[in-house]
Amino acid sequence: MSQVDLIAVITVKPGKAERVVELLKELAVFVKENEPETLRYHINLDSKKDQIIMLETYASKAAMGAHGQSKEFKAFQQKLADEDLVGGPMELKATKAMGGFESRL
């Protein structure tokens, strides 16, 4: 089983970042409590407040797929559409760590 790191970039419409972050925080609670193979789920807002960058780590490709197919994630996507919060499709980049270190915190 190979760990998967994912970067998801969500471009938000002007003035909508706070609402999208609120929805992501709600989703993150579900993910933490119900998706044990989701190892990291960080919500980051860029300095211009027009993009949210998610840093996600999954225990496997299957775990990443299960997250994307969950009814809670699909409901999140539907809210983004219904509330007209985003300016385009989510950009997903699967990555593999090649060096550096995790944290000094």
With tokens 């593999």, the residue in question is: 96
For residue 49, what pLDDT is reported? 84
Q: What spatial distance separates the first Cα and last Cα of the chain, rounded to whole Å?
A: 28
Reported as a single tens digit per residue, the pLDDT across 65-91 is 999 999 999 999 999 999 999 999 999
Reported as a single tens digit per residue, the pLDDT across 11-65 is 999 999 999 999 999 999 999 999 999 999 999 999 888 999 999 999 999 999 9
pLDDT-derived band at 7 (thresholds 50, 70, 90) equals very high
For residue 63, what pLDDT is reported? 96
For residue 23, what pLDDT is reported? 98
For residue 90, what pLDDT is reported? 93
Instruction: Indicate the pairing of strand 38-45 with strand 4-11.
Output: unpaired
Cβ–Cβ < 8 Å for 77, 20 = no
pLDDT-derived band at 105 (thresholds 50, 70, 90) equals confident
Q: What is the DSSP string of 13-43?
A: PTT-HHHHHHHHHHHHHHHHHH-TTEEEEEE
Q: Which domains does the chain have, with CATH numbers?
A: 4-95 (3.30.70.100)
DSSP 3: -
Distance separating alpha carbons of residues 54 and 40, to the nearest angstrom? 10
Closest CA to 42 of 57, 34, 54: 54
User: Which residues have a Cβ under 8 Å from the Cβ of 101 and sit 6 or more positions away?
Assistant: none
For residue 1, what pLDDT is reported? 62
